[in-house]
């Protein structure tokens, strides 16, 4: 079980500790639900990815967990940020990121967003047929072109992005026309961008995409006299959310991606590109644990329901992607695991189920549950459904906890209401 928890997770007698801090103490001090991020795990994952890409660049996929303190920590480790909205750009700027420490994305960028990117000198990934015109008018200098090469990744259909008909990027003929348009407008077209999907289980789809990408750049060289200096390969490297998951190490996938790109470009008669990666989940996913307090316990003939004080408002992934999680009884870790239960959220939806089946010490009201591998796409996708306030987040390390996101209050919910 601890293999999918943060690196510093340990069991001390009856209690789970994270970053040298007792989970029970964290819950008592900061309330629940509470997202706990382990600093040591974050830094270790960042360093592994940076080493894997060599002299390339790594940009954090901010959508996985937009947070100023987190972005500042990643910047300390030499990681930039991939941002896809004015809000994400604001988080990054507040963390001190600037210029080519950022890559600007989005399939529907407006003039104001592009102008903001231009002001700080951030490269922009062109994603639509008219974006060269918009970028030039906004004063953008450096651009990449996102090409969709028709490779279906082995992942949930909602997080595939490289297939034919995707809403992201452009198929090769239209992408080539966009490169030509950008060049005609005197934009500095530094490279190309691809992304095949998220929570990738293997390297096959990405390898095929990279080979097709090199062929696309070779065609642009022949037709337009232009060669990409940068191959931005996106991200999507998976993590284990459950002990039964079999997911390759993200560092190895990143190393394979960078090596494959360099070889594919050379084999296509092109100079080796500078490789950029945009990982999100694999940097923060395992670093995060969500703590919940158990409320009602209903032992029915069909199953036992254990309700917690959160649910789909702080982690909608089970409903969106059929994501599978597990849980640990954080203050009863020494007791026999003697009952299989289902963990439900507190929301008015029958589908608000965090975990279908998990073995725990026979649950009771007041227990503290720890759900691992929740650092990515949980708090980032949280909502106020049922008028529930979003959780706080703390960073733990060396026995110290630091609040990096305050808990919302009822006053926060009412702040924008007009009566």
**Residues with active-site annotation:** 348
Q: How far apart are CA 285 and CA 45, in angstroms?
A: 10
**First and final CA of the chain: distance in angstroms?**
50
Residue closest to 36 by CA, chosen among 314, 235, 356: 314
The residue with tokens 């490297």 is 237
Helix (H) or strand (E) holding 184: helix 172-184
Q: How far apart are CA 301 and CA 336, in angstroms?
A: 22
The residue with tokens 């227990």 is 367
Strands in 195-303 per DSSP E? 230-232, 274-277, 288-299
Residue closest to 17 by CA, chosen among 407, 368, 377: 368
How far are the Cα atoms of 164, 172, 250, 254 from residue 167, in angstroms, in the given order? 9, 14, 26, 25
State phi, psi for 301 to the nearest 5 degrees: -60, -35
> Is the preceding omega at residue 33 within 30 degrees of 0, hence cis?
yes
Helix (H) or strand (E) holding 16: strand 15-18
Name the token pair of 266.
């050379």
Range 139-143, long-range pairs (CB < 8 A, 24+ positions): 139/115, 140/114, 140/187, 141/187, 141/188, 142/100, 142/187, 142/188, 142/190, 143/182, 143/187, 143/188, 143/189, 143/190
Question: Where on the phi/psi map is residue 320: left (φ > 0), alpha (ψ -120 to 50), or beta?
Answer: alpha
Residue closest to 256 by CA, chosen among 199, 190, 202: 202
Tell me if 232 sits within 8 A of 103, measured CB to CB: yes
Tell me if 170 sits within 8 A of 217, measured CB to CB: no
Q: What angle do CA 200, 279, 179 make, to 5 degrees?
A: 95
């Amino acid at each position: 079980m601890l293999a999918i928890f943060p690196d510093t997770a340990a069991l001390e007698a009856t209690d789970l500790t994270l970053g040298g801090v007792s989970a029970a103490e964290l819950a008592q001090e900061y309330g629940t639900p509470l997202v706990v991020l382990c600093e040591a795990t974050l830094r270790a994952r960042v360093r592994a990815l940076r080493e894997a890409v060599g002299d390339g660049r790594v940009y954090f996929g901010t959508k996985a967990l937009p947070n100023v303190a987190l972005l500042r920590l990643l910047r300390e480790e030499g990681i930039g940020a991939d941002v896809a909205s004015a809000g994400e750009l604001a988080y990054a700027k507040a963390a001190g990121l600037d210029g080519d420490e950022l890559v600007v994305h989005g399939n529907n960028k407006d003039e104001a967003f592009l102008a903001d990117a231009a002001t700080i000198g951030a490269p922009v990934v062109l994603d639509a047929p008219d974006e060269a015109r918009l970028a030039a008018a906004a004063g953008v200098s450096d651009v990449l072109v996102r090409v969709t090469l028709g490779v279906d990744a082995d992942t949930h259909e909602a997080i595939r992005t490289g297939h034919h008909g995707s809403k992201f990027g452009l198929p090769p003929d239209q992408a080539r026309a966009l490169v030509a348009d950008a060049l005609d407008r005197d934009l500095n077209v530094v490279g190309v961008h691809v992304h095949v999907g998220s929570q990738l289980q293997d390297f096959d789809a990405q390898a095929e995409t990279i080979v097709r990408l090199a062929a696309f750049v070779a065609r642009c060289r022949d037709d337009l006299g232009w060669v990409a200096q940068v191959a931005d390969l996106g991200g999507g490297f998976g993590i284990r959310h459950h002990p039964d998951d079999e997911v390759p190490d993200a560092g190895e996938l990143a190393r394979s991606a960078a090596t494959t790109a360099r070889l594919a470009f050379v084999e296509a008669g092109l100079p080796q590109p500078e490789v950029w990666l945009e990982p999100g989940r694999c940097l923060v996913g395992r670093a995060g644990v969500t703590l919940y307090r158990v409320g009602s316990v209903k032992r029915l003939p069909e199953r036992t329901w254990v309700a917690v004080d959160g649910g789909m408002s702080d982690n909608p992934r089970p409903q969106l992607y059929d994501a599978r999680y597990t849980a640990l009884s954080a203050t009863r870790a020494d007791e026999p695991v003697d009952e299989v239960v289902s963990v439900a959220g507190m929301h008015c939806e029958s589908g608000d189920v965090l975990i279908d089946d998990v073995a725990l010490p026979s649950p009771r009201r007041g227990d503290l549950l720890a759900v691992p591998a929740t650092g990515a796409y949980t708090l980032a996708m949280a909502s106020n459904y049922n008028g529930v306030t979003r959780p706080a987040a703390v960073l733990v390390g060396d026995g110290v906890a630091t609040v990096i996101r305050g808990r919302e209050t009822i006053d926060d919910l009412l702040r924008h209401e007009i009566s």
